[in-house]
């Protein structure tokens, strides 16, 4: 046990990083590197722990089917469905945004990510008209906004 077989993935390039392709998902890989110049190569430096190959994570698609419910003078409740594609990782929550008619600036409604598929927007100004949109967030980033 303990003996590893290494396969060269890069040679002769003057670079400090290199993408390694065609790895098997969920497999462990050990990497080592050494410096080489005109005189020869140095000692290998090896990572202490293995790297587990994973599919690259992406931002999610936008939430879908955003709907407005229970409109009052100062609040409304929004519901939506999760994105069709989560980017390959769990959705951590949602961001809700509003814009008042006549404004050109979207404002975030929630301070913290909304972990469920509904949110009540409060403190709306009586008599104003608003549009709303939602964004999904995962570890890779924030989606484009939902369609209005």
Mean per-residue pLDDT, 88-94? 95
What is the rounded CA–CA span in Å between residue 47 and residue 21? 18
The string of pLDDT tens digits covering residues 94-145 is 999 999 999 999 999 999 999 999 999 999 999 999 999 999 999 999 999 9
| pLDDT(1) > 60 | no
Q: What percent of the chain has pLDDT over 90?
A: 59
pLDDT recorded at residue 82: 98
Q: Which residues, including other chains, have CB under 8 Å from residue 95's CB and lie 6 or more apart?
A: 108, 110, 113, 114, 134, 135, 137, 142
Q: What percent of the chain has pLDDT over 70?
A: 99
């Amino acid at each position: 046990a303990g003996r590893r077989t290494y396969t060269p993935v890069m040679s002769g390039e003057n670079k400090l990083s290199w993408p390694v392709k065609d790895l098997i998902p969920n497999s462990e890989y050990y990497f080592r590197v050494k410096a080489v110049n005109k005189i020869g190569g140095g000692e290998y430096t090896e990572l202490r722990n293995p790297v587990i190959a994973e599919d690259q994570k992406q931002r999610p698609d936008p939430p879908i089917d955003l709907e407005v419910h229970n409109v009052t003078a100062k609040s409304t409740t929004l519901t939506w469905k999760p994105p069709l594609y989560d980017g390959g990782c769990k959705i951590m929550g949602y961001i809700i945004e509003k814009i008042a008619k006549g404004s050109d600036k979207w404002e975030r409604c929630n301070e913290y990510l909304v972990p469920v598929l509904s949110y009540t927007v409060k403190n709306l100004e009586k008599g104003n008209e608003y549009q709303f949109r939602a964004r999904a967030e995962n570890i890779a980033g924030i989606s484009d906004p939902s369609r209005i």
